[in-house]
Structure 1
Amino acid sequence: MDRRKFLTLTGTFTGGSLLLPDFLYSFGSQTNLVLGEQCVVFVQLNGGNDGLNTFIPFEDALYYYARPAIAISKDEVLNTAKGMAFHLALKGFASMQQSGDLSVIQNVGYANPVRSHFRSQEIWQTAPTNQEYLNDGWLGRYLDLQCREHQPTAGINIDTIDNLALKGDELNSITVKDPDQFKTKNKHENEGQLSGNPQLDFVRKVANSVIEGSDEIQKALAKSAASDVVYPKTGLAKNLEWISKLIKGNLNSKVYYTSLGGFDTHDNQLSIHKNRLTELNDAVFSFYEDLKKSQQLQNVTIVVFSEFGRRVKDNGRGTDHGTAAPMFIIGGNNLGKIIGNNPNLSNLDNGDLRHEIDFRSVYASILKNKLNFDFTKIGIQNKALEGLF
């Protein structure tokens, strides 16, 4: 089954108030995940975030030469260090870095970059060795090996559509639009029967997994301690607030995933990008404060990334699809460093930044250091990035 069919099929089980027909497939216990204290939260910035206007090489004259229409003034940057600084909208990111809780990984990408949103997201989500097409995601493969038996809440994707990164051979993750409204029918009714139709049985298998996951989510939400952090009233903030509740309610998921769109800034970039970064900053910083106050920050690693950066030269109003960009790692006892060289604007690849750090090396470091997992078992051949944790 190809990715688009998978997303179309499983996407029917996400949403606000979820009512399911009487699906019949039965699963085993949910208590067999190899659990630890650590979990990882991914925030995917869809559309290709402009890394050069996010973490800015404000001391490089070539930056201002290449971007006469959209360069950020030296007077409008935060937390300057080593010739780099944050966009003014990222006050929380600057504060987290000053506290030693945020690492910036420079020039992250991959060889022979692809400028298609869909394909580049697919490459980041599947982590292939040579850009081969894969049907499962890197986190799905990890969960397949970590879960001794079916565990529907080992991975939680809070979004309106399933994420290929979490797709594995087994249904060890679910997509939820609104955990507060995630309710289902009685899962015991007619369970254990098969139809003889493999496609129908797969649908039933997905649905029953959602039912089981719903029960666990509701239990975690009920147990979650109240927070005195007031989250902004935005979509991303609401998603991260739910994730915080699930973590504090001991759901024991190893992976959480959510996303923020709107980063495809070909036009009117200064205004649009500022708004997107403001929503990102305010949501992530509230989440960070919540985790810190509840003494969970050391157990939670937050990963912020996009499928690619933007072209170095502006187009007069914005930027077009590019290649390498920074990643941000927050919490999880990371070392709070700037890793890698500043963007080299004098040595471009056909107008684009050359990647220096492969994103799979970052994945390898997270799997090794935070999830205590041998990343080579899921086909990642890159060495783990050093100096992150």
Structure 2
Amino acid sequence: MKRRQFFRLTATSTGGMLLLPNFLTAQNLFDINTTLSDNVLIFIQLNGGNDGLNTFIPFSDPLYYQKRPKIGIPKDQIINSVNGMGFHPSLKDFAKISQDGNLTVVQNVGYPNPNRSHFRSREIWQTASDSNKYLDYGWLGRFLDIQCNDKSLAALNVDNIDSLSLKSSLANSITVKNFNKIKQYNATPENQLKLSDNPQLDFVRKLEYASLEGMDEIDKALKKAEKLNESYANNPLSKNLEWMSKLIKGGLNSRIYYTSLNGFDTHNNQIQRHKKQLSILNDAIFSFYKDMKHNNLLDRVTLVVFSEFGRRVKENGMGTDHGTAGPMIIVGGNNKGSVIGKNPNLINLDKGDLIFENDFRSVYATLLQSKFNFDSKAININNDVISGIF
């Protein structure tokens, strides 16, 4: 296998600092720890800063329309109203999931001393650090380092780039760009592991071989799920979720999946741009939701949607600028189908931005505790869990 092709296919093994003595056998890289439950967490990161106020909308507050005379969503278009809040019309199927009791909204999620830079705020969310601290490894990567056997394929990133969230001291996740190429790179005899007297060369060989074995496990899972195909919407995010669904139905041991959707930096032409992106999100998640429900997997699969920050309360004319807090959305996993937190306070603002009510790390702590019986303090997330989500 050509090295250039290998790295193009997998993007990278998301391990960060991989030390040669830790490589024992390729099999070690893909044996999941039996203490990890069969629950699955899937994260969708909305890149660009999703406008939460136009996603889950405080339509009953007249200040919403005063501050957004051009981009405010008309009351007669808002759907599934609950306690003065409702969904953007493009999220019509979110409303259906909510009515089924399988969607929870956590309102006003953020963190102290917010950073309005895309890159820095994503880093804060992905490492679960304080806004003035920098961490080398992602919050999920640190969790997997503790929870999983040495070098298990515990997580899969389905994207064009790696996610810092999964970066760890062990190689327990990989990034796959194109599942259609998996079959071309199985661990065939000519690619079997061959060691030499050169430790540096062996390091690369073992990394490549381990990833090949990981892709072989992925291919096996895809084959097992061939007769369990469901109809999905036609968009890139939907395709990523469809691949994840096949791997889950095919019995892949991975317990964490990660992907992203770009296009939420709506400084201008927000009405059309936001409508388009929310439609993609709606169609993709509803396709996945129906699939999981039909195959009796919804109770153990939890999907989490978040963005690095929300937008400013007041429009800038035809769009919105970088803000702070916003909603997180949770689908499946036996969530209670509730709305957590107060409606956005449009009077008491911080320099024109919402003041957060729920720290995103509390949501992380809740997910780890509920789904894996894991105390987040072990990875230096010391926030309390949030009651009422699960």
TM-score by length of 2: 0.91
Q: CA–CA distance in 2 between the matches of 1:51 and 1:11?
A: 36
How far the C-alpha of 1:204 sits from its partner, in A, is 4.4
Alpha-carbon distance change, 112 to 209 in structure 1, aligned in 2, over 3 angstroms: farther
Residue 291 of structure 1 pairs with residue 292 of structure 2: yes
Alpha-carbon distance change, 50 to 165 in structure 1, aligned in 2, over 3 angstroms: same
Aligned residue number for residue 83 of structure 2: 82
Structure 2: which 5+ runs fail to align?
Answer: 12-19
1:1-389, aligned counterparts within 5 Å?
Answer: 12-14=8-10, 26-29=25-28, 30-34=30-34, 35-129=36-130, 131-152=132-153, 154-182=154-182, 183-184=184-185, 186=187, 188-193=191-196, 195-197=198-200, 203-224=204-225, 226-227=227-228, 229-389=230-390
Please state whether the residue corresponding to 1:320 is helix, strand or coil. coil
> 1:129, 1:379 within 8 Å by CA — same for their partners in 2?
no
Q: How many residues align?
A: 371
> 1:11, 1:160 within 8 Å by CA — same for their partners in 2?
no
The one-letter code sitting in structure 2 at the alignment partner of 1:191 is K
Q: CA–CA distance in 2 between the matches of 1:121 and 1:267?
A: 22
TM-score by length of 1: 0.91
Q: CA–CA distance in 1 between the matches of 2:360 and 2:195?
A: 42
The one-letter code sitting in structure 1 at the alignment partner of 2:327 is P
Per-residue CA deviation, residues 6-51 of structure 1 (Å, 9 max, x unaligned), is: xx9x964536xxxxxxxx9753433342342201000110000000
How far the C-alpha of 1:135 sits from its partner, in A, is 1.1
Please state whether the residue corresponding to 1:48 is helix, strand or coil. coil
Q: CA–CA distance in 2 between the matches of 1:193 and 1:68?
A: 69
The one-letter code sitting in structure 2 at the alignment partner of 1:219 is K
Per-residue CA deviation, residues 203-226 of structure 1 (Å, 9 max, x unaligned), is: 545433321210110000000153
| Root-mean-square deviation over aligned CA pairs | 2.1
Q: CA–CA distance in 2 between the matches of 1:308 and 1:205?
A: 39
Q: Could you tell me the percent identity over the aligned residues?
A: 55
> 2:124, 2:130 within 8 Å by CA — same for their partners in 1?
no
Q: CA–CA distance in 1 between the matches of 2:51 and 2:205?
A: 41
Deviating beyond 6 angstroms after TM superposition, the runs of 4 or more aligned structure 1 residues are: none
The one-letter code sitting in structure 1 at the alignment partner of 2:95 is A
Please state whether the residue corresponding to 2:104 is helix, strand or coil. strand
> 2:46, 2:264 within 8 Å by CA — same for their partners in 1?
yes
Structure 1: which 5+ runs fail to align?
Answer: 1-7, 16-23
Alpha-carbon distance change, 251 to 62 in structure 1, aligned in 2, over 3 angstroms: same
> 2:187, 2:216 within 8 Å by CA — same for their partners in 1?
no
Q: CA–CA distance in 2 between the matches of 1:201 and 1:326?
A: 47
How far the C-alpha of 1:340 sits from its partner, in A, is 0.1
Q: CA–CA distance in 1 between the matches of 2:381 and 2:119?
A: 21
Q: CA–CA distance in 1 between the matches of 2:155 and 2:389?
A: 23
Aligned residue number for residue 19 of structure 1: none
